[in-house]
Amino acid sequence: MALKLIIGNKNYSSWSLRPWLALTAAGIPFEEELVLLDTPEFVERVRPYSPTLRVPILIDGDAVVWESIAIIEHIAERFPQAGIWPADPVARARARSQATEMHGGFSGIRSAFPMNLWRPVAPHPVPERAQRDLDAITAGWRTARERFGAGGDFLFGAFGGVDAMYAPIATRIRTYGLPVDPVSAAYVEAIHAHPAFRAWYDAALQETALVADDEIDWPVVKRI
């Protein structure tokens, strides 16, 4: 039976982007169902699956998986050849730690700078909490790239689950012009150049539905 991934708006839904990218980059076929955030239909559709009324949700036959990191773990278990985690156990331990750290934290940068793919790129002042997160994130990126990244442009070489988890941070760095070191800047570019990311991004730019909480100049909406 085909996998189904329920997601939110591609422009805004950073948590939806994560498993969608992991699946798409790995070439795993799935059906996508997009439900617009902040609508009555969203609550109706999501309630049977997610106790907290959140997307993404993966439906895999009788198995229902919610929480982005749990979905990525489920995919890794279901498709062991997909390379969701690095093959080397030491690299894999670190990749899982960094991915889980992303899932559980960095609310400073997430709340100051919502993912908003259609927003024109422009530099923004960085609040202290967001800067602390940015420093921790980019330090982790540099270590992964230096120790494990030789085989490709991503944190552990080839694109994997950990890159899917950090892709929305890469978009925030780009959109809001957040200053980062050259290794991290190259990684941000690599994420934006990945064909799976491009496909999501192009679809996001076609959307029109608005989420006020994710527009930092609301009621003004700045669009490319």
Q: Which residues bind ligand GSH (CB under 6 A)?
A: 8, 13-16, 37, 53-56, 67-68, 103
Measure the CA–CA gap between 126 and 105, rounded to whole angstroms.
17
In the complex with ligand GSH, the residue whose CB is nearer, 50 or 143, is: 50
Tell me the closest approach of the beta carbon of residue 218 to ligand GSH, in angstroms: 16
Measure the CA–CA gap between 103 and 97, rounded to whole angstroms.
10
57 beta partners: 6, 66
Tell me the closest approach of the beta carbon of residue 182 to ligand GSH, in angstroms: 30
Tell me how far CA of residue 64 lies from CA of 42, 50, 57, 59, 201, in angstroms.
Answer: 17, 9, 7, 5, 26
In the complex with ligand GSH, the residue whose CB is nearer, 54 or 92, is: 54
Measure the CA–CA gap between 222 and 79, rounded to whole angstroms.
40
Tell me the closest approach of the beta carbon of residue 183 to ligand GSH, in angstroms: 26
Kind of pairing between the strands at 3-7 and 57-60: antiparallel
In the complex with ligand GSH, the residue whose CB is nearer, 15 or 156, is: 15
Measure the CA–CA gap between 169 and 134, rounded to whole angstroms.
9
In the complex with ligand GSH, the residue whose CB is nearer, 56 or 161, is: 56
Tell me the closest approach of the beta carbon of residue 39 to ligand GSH, in angstroms: 10
Measure the CA–CA gap between 163 and 100, rounded to whole angstroms.
12
Tell me how far CA of residue 143 lies from CA of 134, 136, 174, 208, in angstroms.
Answer: 14, 11, 21, 39
In the complex with ligand GSH, the residue whose CB is nearer, 19 or 86, is: 19
Tell me the closest approach of the beta carbon of residue 103 to ligand GSH, in angstroms: 6
